[in-house]
Chains A and B, each alone.
Chain A
Amino acid sequence: DIVMTQTPLSLSVTPGQPASISCKSSQSLLYSDGKSYLYWYLQKPGQPPHLLIYEASNRFSGVPDRFSGSGSGTDFTLKISRVEAEDVGVYFCMQSIQLPWTFGQGTKVEIK
């Protein structure tokens, strides 16, 4: 199984400041079609996860442009350019290049 490792596991950020989360996979997520099958989700308290970024760098519909994804192969990053209070929750990365699909442990983001 592909192991997904997120760092850090928790993050405390001042509103308006940037934040960055890393996700590393134990195998390359780059498929022959040139896409990296890496997704980023945010799970707000008491809610299901919702998709932020698909295929490593594509912002999902309705996601604010302060969220961006980058990376390829085995190293990926989610960046929030200016954190807002509504961004609190747990962020997960997920790979879907190989079954079983696997998730990172989650990064809990809180506001200072």
Chain B
Amino acid sequence: EVQLVESGGGLVQPGGSLRLSCVASGFDFSSFWMSWIRQAPGKGLEWVANIKEDGSEKYYVDSVKGRFIISRDNAKNSLYLQMGSLRGEDTAVYYCVRGGTDHWGQGTQVTVSS
């Protein structure tokens, strides 16, 4: 069974940093692109970033470029999102998604507020 478990969310002040993690199990993690997708409170879904199977290609939505870094450790079956210079509009539930499409974790809440 495919499982994706996110962690690392929390309350952070504007301008602060946070590192999200996602541990994958039940599939060959190193063979899949991985994505982060977020959902602001009561809002729709927004794709945030993608990373290729070997980490050689990374893509970001414009609103997080230069502030967020997606990475992975295939030996640990783990996906990460290093978030910096956080803003109120980054407040959302962040989901780890296999391939960006088929399997989603339960999400981790990030709240940016003073």
A and B associate in one complex: yes
Interface residues of A (CB under 8 A from B): 39, 47-51, 54, 60, 92, 94, 96, 99-106
How far apart are A69's CB and chain B's nearest CB, in angstroms? Answer: 14
Starting from the known contacts A50-B104, A99-B59, A100-B61, 10 additional A-B residue pairs (CB-CB under 8 Å) come to A48-B106, A49-B45, A51-B102, A51-B103, A54-B101, A92-B45, A102-B47, A104-B44, A105-B44, A106-B44
Identify 5 residue pairs between A and B in the complex whose beta-carbon atoms are under 8 Å apart, listed by A's number.
A47-B106, A94-B101, A96-B101, A100-B47, A104-B44
Question: Which residues in A have their C-beta under 8 angstroms from that of B102?
Answer: 51, 54, 60
Looking at chain A's contact residues, the main secondary structure is loop
C-alpha gap A101/B107 in the complex (Å): 19
Asked if A94 meets B61 with Cβ closer than 8 Å, knowing A48-B95, A48-B104, the reply is: no
Is A94's CB under 8 angstroms from B45's CB? yes
B14 on the interface (CB 8 Å rule)? no
How far apart are B41's CB and chain A's nearest CB, in angstroms? Answer: 13
In order of increasing CB-CB distance, the 10 nearest A-B pairs are A101-B47, A48-B104, A103-B45, A100-B61, A51-B102, A99-B59, A106-B44, A100-B47, A105-B44, A103-B44
Name the residue of chain A whose CB is nearest to the CB of B95: A48
Interface residues of B (CB under 8 A from A): 35, 44-47, 50, 59, 61-62, 95, 100-107
C-alpha gap A100/B63 in the complex (Å): 11
Name the residue of chain A whose CB is nearest to the CB of B59: A99
Question: Which residues in A have their C-beta under 8 angstroms from that of B106?
Answer: 47-48
C-alpha gap A94/B104 in the complex (Å): 14
Question: Which residues in B have their C-beta under 8 angstroms from that of A104?
Answer: 44
Question: Which residues in A have their C-beta under 8 angstroms from that of B35?
Answer: 101
How far apart are B68's CB and chain A's nearest CB, in angstroms? Answer: 13
How far apart are B86's CB and chain A's nearest CB, in angstroms? Answer: 20
Cross-chain contact of B101 among A39, A47, A99, A106 (Cβ < 8 A): A39
